[in-house]
Structure 1
Amino acid sequence: MKLGYQTNTWGGVVGHPAGVTSVKDLYYLTPGSTEEALRDIAAAGYEGFELFDGNLMQYIDKKEEFKSLMNELSLKFVGVYTGGNFIFPDILEEELAKIESVAAFASELGAEHLVIGGGAIRSNGVKESDYKALGDALNTVIEIAEKYNLVPSYHPHLGTCVQAPEQLDKLMPLTKINLVPDTAHIEAGGGDPVEVIKKYADRIKYVHFKDYKDGEFLPLGEGNQKFDEMLKVLNEASYDGWITVELDSYADPKKGAEISRKFLADLV
């Protein structure tokens, strides 16, 4: 298995402010330095990286700078994380257009995976029809990803209509998209990540590892997650793809990356 790291620890999970009034600019974004993040990720011993769509699109007019940095650090561009509300017909076209622009640029720079988060929760709660709308939108995302030779996967996340295990089970029959399990978000949503990986092993092409304890996301080995059991299930399923470590925030991002890499050295 190959090991990557998400750059969002260098600044935390934010969003592009233009997205408040312009759906086409509704990006995930971390305000930290992508260059610093990639240098720290390489120094910690990872082979690749994932980043948010907003941070990727900051390089739209600086693509050679991005390529040079990857080459200098011998890092692979594993994937880009993007998403949308997906349940509101009036803005869906704009959301999909944004995702296509991200997919096209990510592919041009050599990315392998398109990671999709989202599925809005309405102010008055989730409608059952929202799962069908989300599934249909994700099927369109598959077409976009395949157009640019990217592997599309859906990422269950707190704050969406797919945060609890029973919600994931509602969605998965309604779409053909792959699943990228974020192990900590699954546990925080009330699920067992080992069981989710077992259940959907044939639809897993990419994995996010994150530890979790007492409501807090942590470096690997500092929480309650059973990574040895997860790896056993993945090995039994002949999984040989990327495992990307994600840690939404940490006081010393480089140190957090080093802790998780040292932990994985004894497992992978």
Structure 2
Amino acid sequence: MVKLAFSKPTRDAEGQRLLFDRYQQAGYDGLQLKGNQYSPYLDDPARFQAEWGSDPAHVSSLITMNPLDEDGKERLRTLFRFAAAVGSERVVLCHDVPRVGLTDDDLADIARMMSGLGQEASDQGVRLSLHHHTNEPVMHRRDFDVFFDAVQDKAVSLTVDTGHLMKSEVLDIAGLIRDLAPVIDNVHLKDYEDGQFRLLGQGTVEFGDIIDALTTLDASATLCVDEESRAEIFEGMEVSQRFLEGRLVAR
């Protein structure tokens, strides 16, 4: 069966409660949380579980925007410990530094550094997955090959984001998924048009070929509707679920 998660930014505790209360009712298997949805609890995972529940599905992945200077590495290690304590299966890292000016050697150095961090995560039962991002180190099609050729011991996996690929002008998304299938553990399904992220089916991303390519992924990979349009929470859940209904096939 396809494991389908949902993710959406929330402005306040009321929005977060709605997200937690409704995602399973709307047909999703788990949540992938944005930073502000868990970061107040990093030093007290028991308080997070007391307030939001102890179901690991609530925290199937934890998304973070984080540079990897020394302070950033320590924050990431704190996140690994939190993820392990609450039962999250992966930390999704958006490497929050500019892409401009980086060479292939720089990308390879970053990959080796992340490999060490990925091993630390693995030691705690958590996966480290790189989320490529527009204007961050892994952005262009060639960057993916350079980066993952340098990853050591398969310690870092890849979260593919269909919207950010379009925004970064990487247009053969299905081809990228097929090429990188061995390292992909997570896919963010997101539509895009005219500089804005859209509800699924309301942008210019060609999902037919992409969904075909998803069948090349390992059965353990997670698909996540990463809903960053201007729609309200439940509208985003429902519209995305209707769009995907009948399109996703068992892997």
**Alpha-carbon distance, 1:224 to partner:** 2.3
Instruction: Identify the residue that residue 42 of structure 1 maps to in structure 2.
Output: 24
How many percent identity over aligned positions? 23
**Alpha-carbon distance, 1:222 to partner:** 1.3
Instruction: Identify the residue that residue 256 of structure 1 maps to in structure 2.
Output: 236
Is 1:158 aligned with 2:134? Answer: yes
**Alpha-carbon distance, 1:211 to partner:** 1.0
Residue 221 of structure 2 aligns with an amino acid whose one-letter code is G
* Secondary structure at the counterpart of residue 233 of structure 1: helix
Instruction: Return the match for 2:201 from 218, 221, 230.
Output: 221
The CA distance in 1 between the partners of 2:64 and 2:105, in whole Å, is: 23
Given that 1:213 and 1:223 are in contact with CA atoms closer than 8 Å, whether structure 2 keeps it comes out as yes
Instruction: Identify the residue that residue 63 of structure 1 maps to in structure 2.
Output: 46
Given that 1:155 and 1:180 are in contact with CA atoms closer than 8 Å, whether structure 2 keeps it comes out as yes
**Alpha-carbon distance, 1:138 to partner:** 1.1
Given that 1:210 and 1:218 are in contact with CA atoms closer than 8 Å, whether structure 2 keeps it comes out as yes
The CA distance in 1 between the partners of 2:47 and 2:97, in whole Å, is: 36
Is 1:102 aligned with 2:79? Answer: yes
Given that 2:196 and 2:229 are in contact with CA atoms closer than 8 Å, whether structure 1 keeps it comes out as no
* Secondary structure at the counterpart of residue 138 of structure 2: coil
Instruction: Return the match for 1:147 from 110, 114, 123.
Output: 123
Given that 1:121 and 1:159 are in contact with CA atoms closer than 8 Å, whether structure 2 keeps it comes out as yes
Where has structure 1 moved over 4 Å in runs of 4 or more? none
Residue 36 of structure 1 aligns with an amino acid whose one-letter code is L
Is 1:136 aligned with 2:112? Answer: yes
Is 1:202 aligned with 2:182? Answer: yes
The CA distance in 2 between the partners of 1:65 and 1:139, in whole Å, is: 29
Instruction: Identify the residue that residue 19 of structure 1 maps to in structure 2.
Output: none
RMSD: 2.5
Is 1:113 aligned with 2:101? Answer: no
Instruction: Identify the residue that residue 178 of structure 1 maps to in structure 2.
Output: 157
The CA distance in 1 between the partners of 2:183 and 2:45, in whole Å, is: 35
Change (3 A) 1:139 1:236: closer
**Alpha-carbon distance, 1:215 to partner:** 2.1
Residue 39 of structure 2 aligns with an amino acid whose one-letter code is M
Given that 1:59 and 1:66 are in contact with CA atoms closer than 8 Å, whether structure 2 keeps it comes out as no
**Alpha-carbon distance, 1:194 to partner:** 0.7
**Alpha-carbon distance, 1:227 to partner:** 2.5
Change (3 A) 1:212 1:113: same
The CA distance in 2 between the partners of 1:251 and 1:231, in whole Å, is: 23
Instruction: Identify the residue that residue 7 of structure 2 maps to in structure 1.
Output: 6
**Alpha-carbon distance, 1:6 to partner:** 1.0
Given that 1:154 and 1:180 are in contact with CA atoms closer than 8 Å, whether structure 2 keeps it comes out as yes
Instruction: Identify the residue that residue 89 of structure 1 maps to in structure 2.
Output: none
Residue 34 of structure 1 aligns with an amino acid whose one-letter code is Q
**Alpha-carbon distance, 1:40 to partner:** 3.4
Given that 2:92 and 2:159 are in contact with CA atoms closer than 8 Å, whether structure 1 keeps it comes out as yes
Instruction: Identify the residue that residue 67 of structure 2 maps to in structure 1.
Output: 85
- The two structures have a TM-score, normalised by structure 2, of 0.85
Unaligned runs of 5+ in 1: 12-29, 87-91
The CA distance in 1 between the partners of 2:31 and 2:208, in whole Å, is: 22
**Alpha-carbon distance, 1:226 to partner:** 2.8
The CA distance in 1 between the partners of 2:108 and 2:221, in whole Å, is: 29
